[in-house]
Amino acid sequence: MFVIWWGTRKVVNRQGYAADFCPICREVAPMLICNVEMANHVYSVVYGKGETIGHFAQCQNCRSELPARLNKFRTLADAIAPLVTLVRTTNPTVYETEKGRLEIERMIKEGTPPLPRDVRFELMLEKFHAVEPEIRNRLDASRVDRPFIATLAAYIVAALFILPLVIRDSMRLGQVQVYLLLGTFLFLGYLMLTAHSRFLSASIYPKLGAALRPLKPGPRELDLILRLLTQRRLMAGTALKVKQLTGWLARTG
Ligand SMILES: [Zn+2]
């Protein structure tokens, strides 16, 4: 059967580099600015110019994909450069505009004076908003990740190339190939089911834990924040769990 596979798909384009404040690193950091567009494709081959649906800035220190506002940059640099150079060329007033924010970070580090309750709560919320684009981009995408592809490739190599060399009896070879196929099939199913939780454990919980740790949020506060995020229809609210967050916060980082 001949199937024409076409439609629109999300395409990420690199726009350039700039310096900006990263709420996860809690300092000014180099960022890769990207735009996301819905582009037309036929058999996965993109054609024409798509419609831009948003921007994000990927911090080059912590790899977080943060919400980005393009109009704050004077220009974008074509290549990554030392931070001082990026600041000078792309965002020369960043230390001035983020002065209050950097002062708060100094207060958190030194613990004096204690942060006002509302400021502390807003800072905690900010961390969750910061990881939202990354969670959304990954959870919207396919569950087929690198371990899935590696498992599939290993199965093909083992079943088609290695086993026929080791097992000469064709009956026995057929049996072993069927068992291997079943085992691989089950394991691929397991990998697909756990794709999102593995992504959150590898990429989101560690940096969210490190970014939240100085603010010392309790389980009740975390629960309140996750419910607030769910009300705001943010994926972080439903994808993240208080128990895992407190587990990561308890680790010494
Ligand atoms: Zn960062």
pLDDT at 215: 92
Is the separation of the CB atoms in 192 and 116 below 8 Å?
no
CA of 161 to the centre of ligand 1 (A): 45
pLDDT (tens digit, 9 = 90+) per residue, 38-64?
877 766 566 767 777 788 899 999 988
- Choosing from 114, 130, 147, the residue where a domain stops is 114
CA of 127 to the centre of ligand 1 (A): 11
- Choosing from 59, 80, 114, the residue where a domain stops is 114
pLDDT (tens digit, 9 = 90+) per residue, 74-108?
999 999 999 999 999 999 999 999 999 999 988 88
CA of 164 to the centre of ligand 1 (A): 50
β-strand partners of 55 = 35
CA of 211 to the centre of ligand 1 (A): 9
Q: How far is the C-alpha of 79 from the C-alpha of 75, rounded, in Å?
A: 12
pLDDT at 112: 76
Together in a domain, 127 and 93: no
CA of 212 to the centre of ligand 1 (A): 13
Angle at 9 between CA 6 and CA 14, to 5 degrees: 135
Together in a domain, 84 and 161: no
pLDDT at 2 over 60: no
Q: What percent of the chain has pLDDT over 70?
A: 94
CA of 26 to the centre of ligand 1 (A): 7
Residue with tokens 């961390």: 127
Return mean pLDDT, the chain: 89
pLDDT at 52: 79
State mean pLDDT over 152-167.
92
Together in a domain, 104 and 209: no
CA of 130 to the centre of ligand 1 (A): 10
Residue bearing the bigger pLDDT, 10 or 190:
190
The token pair at 105 is 């970070």
Together in a domain, 62 and 119: no
In a domain, 156, yes or no: yes
Q: How many domains does the chain have?
A: 2
pLDDT (tens digit, 9 = 90+) per residue, 195-240?
999 999 999 999 999 999 999 999 999 999 999 999 999 999 999 9
pLDDT at 3: 58
CA of 149 to the centre of ligand 1 (A): 29
CA of 163 to the centre of ligand 1 (A): 47
In a domain, 56, yes or no: yes
β-strand partners of 58 = 32, 65
In 2-98, alpha helices (H): 83-90, 94-97
CA of 241 to the centre of ligand 1 (A): 22
In a domain, 1, yes or no: no
β-strand partners of 20 = 29
pLDDT at 15 over 90: yes
Together in a domain, 140 and 233: yes
Together in a domain, 215 and 249: yes
Together in a domain, 134 and 247: yes
CA of 203 to the centre of ligand 1 (A): 12
Residue bearing the bigger pLDDT, 9 or 195:
195
Together in a domain, 110 and 157: no
Domain coverage including residue 215: 115-253
Together in a domain, 135 and 241: yes
